[in-house]
Amino acid sequence: MVLKVGIMGNGKGWELLLQQEGIPYERIVDFPLSRETFSVIVVGDQITPSSLEAVRRYLTGGGAILCSGRVYALLCNERSTETFVRYLCEEPHSHFQGVGLVNLQKVCHLPWNGSDLRTDAGAFSAFIGTYGEGAIIALPFDAAEFIVDRRTAMKSFYAHSKRLPFEKVSLVPKRGIRRLVRRSLEILHHRRGLPYVHKWFYPDDQRTIFVFRIDTDCATREETAELYKLSRTYNIPCTWFVDVKSQEHHLSVYREMEGQEIGIHCFDHHLANDAKSYNQDIRTAIEIFHSRNLKAMGYAAPYGFWSESLANVIETFGFDYSSEFSYDYDNVPSYPIVNNEFLQTLQIPVHPISIGSLRRQSFTEQEMVTYFHEHLHAAISAREPLIIYHHPKNNYLRVVESIFKYIQEHHIRSMRMIDFALWWKQRNGSQLHVEAENASLHINADTPCDNIALRITRGDGTEAFTSICSTIHLENLIWQPIPKPLPVPDDVVRVTKFNPWILVNHFEDFIFKLLRSR
C-alpha cells in the first residue's frame, strides 16, 4: 500500500500544504483511481463531473478523501449550507483538538450533516464519516483556496491583560488551515487502518526550535551592543535585519559580530509604493552592504508588509528567504505562490507581537514576561516554531533575558533564520516514496536525509520518531502517547471583538506625525 496523497483540483495551494506537512503527494492525471495507489485524495472545488464519478468509485472501494462541504454535497446529491463564517473554533471534545480559533471572514459551504468544528454562529462546519466502504472528511472550504488568501487585517492577539496587543497581519491564519488539513489527513489514514507518516518539521527529532530576530530600526551603537552582549551571554545566535540608512555610519559593528546572521531590512525604513521603489531601496542597501564587506542571505520588509510585487523583487535579488507577517505568522515555512508558480525565496513566519507592541498597550515588564512565556509554552505544546522578534530601541532587556532563560531552561535548540531556512530547503527538496506492508515501512529517498526525521502516528493515539532508512519495522520503534494540545482560553473570542485601542493608537500616530511635520 503506497502512502501518498493524490491531488484533484487546480492551483498550487494543496501542494503548498502538503509540502509543509512533508507527506508524499502526486497530482492525479489518470483514471480510474486505485485505493492501493493513493492512501488519501484531496479534492478541490474545481472538480469536473467525470472526476466526481471517479471519486465516488474510489470511495466506494474503500478509499479516503478530504474535500469541502461543496464537493461533499455534490458527491451525495445533497445541498450544503452557504453562509458567511467569521471564524471557526475547536471544542473540548472535537476531533480537531489543537486547531484553535481560525479566522475566515468569508462565505463557506457547511455540510448538511456536520458534526464537528463550530462556527461563530454555533453551527457545525465539518463532517467526519463514511461513504460506501470509504472514509471522508468535509471541511467548510477548499483548503487550497484559503492557504493562498492574500487579505490582511489589523488583528488582536490573546493576552490575559485587559488590553490586547494588535498588528496588521494575514487575515486568515495559515497555521490554522494547515492544522485542520494535517489532522484531517491523520484521521483519514487511521480510519483506513494505515499509519500516518510525514517528515518532521525540525532538524533531527527536535520538538521545536527557537529563532530570535532583531529589526534594528534606528538603533544606536550602544543599544545594539547591549543586545549583542546578551545574545553572547546566553549563547543564543540572533538574526539582525538592518535598516541600512540609519546604521550606515556603524555598519562595522555588524561585520564584527560573531555567530550572528546579518540580513537586510531596507535602506530607508518606509513603505514603498511599487516594485520600482522596492527594487531601488533593496539595491541601495545591498550595494552599501557589499562596500562594507557584508552579505545578506535574508530579507524582512519594514512593518512586516508583503505583496506579490515585493515578493517578485525579493526573488530577483536571490535572497534565500524573507519574513513578513502580513503573508503568514506563527507557522512553519512555505514557498509563496505567485501567478500559480512557486517562488524560490522561502517565507519564514514570525510571531508578530513584539515588546514594542506590548509597551504601546501599557504592559508592565512583568506582564510582558508573562505574555511571552505563555506564548512560548503554547507553541512548545503545539510543537510550533518559536520565532520572536524585537527592536533594540524598545529596550526592556530584562524581558529579552527572561525569554533567553526560558529557552535555555527548556533545552530548546537555538538557530539563526538562515540555518532554519537552509535546513527547510533541504527537507522540502527530499522526495520520499513510502509503502506500508504488514508492520513495516519501505522507503526510497532521492536525496540524503541525514538530519530529517519521520514522525509516525497510529490510530491508537501513539506516535514515534525515527530516522529515514530503507526499511522501518514499526514494532521496533519507541511509541509514546501523542501529547494533548493546550485547550484554547475560555475567553479566546475576545480577539475577534472590536479593539478600541487600535483606533486610539492610530489617532496618537496621526497626532505625532502632524507635530513632527511642523
**Mean per-residue pLDDT for 267-293?**
94
**Phi-psi label, residue 356: left if phi above 0, alpha if psi -120 to 50, beta otherwise:** alpha
43-78 residue pLDDT tens: 999 888 889 999 999 999 999 999 999 999 999 999
DSSP state letter for 503: H
Measured CA to CA, the distance from residue 243 to residue 257 in angstroms comes to 17
CA contacts within 13 A on the Cβ side of 449: 24
Centroid of chain to Cα 156: 18
Q: How far is CA 480 from CA 165, 260, 477, in A?
A: 37, 37, 10
- pLDDT score at 9: 84
Domains of the chain: 5-150+173-194 (3.40.50.880), 209-424 (3.20.20.370), 430-481 (no CATH)
pLDDT at 239 over 80: yes
pLDDT tens-digit readout, 316-325: 999 999 999 9
CA triplet 459, 196, 110: central angle to 5 degrees? 80
Per DSSP, 460 falls in state T
Residue with cell 469536473: 48
Record the cell numbers describing residue 424, joined without a space.
Answer: 527547510
Are the beta carbons of 269 and 424 closer than 8 angstroms?
no
Beta-bridge partners for 8: 43
E strand map for 63-195: 64-68, 81-89, 101-110, 116-119, 124-131, 134-139, 152-156, 166-170
Percentage of the chain exceeding pLDDT 90? 90
* 385-400 per-position pLDDT tens digit: 999 999 999 999 999 9
pLDDT at 117: 96
Q: 3-class secondary structure for 16-75? A: HHHHHHCCCEEECCCCCCCCCCCCEEEECCCCCHHHHHHHHHHHHCCCEEEEEHHHHHHH
Is residue 107 within 8 Å of 121, Cβ to Cβ?
no
Is the pLDDT score of 313 beyond 70? yes
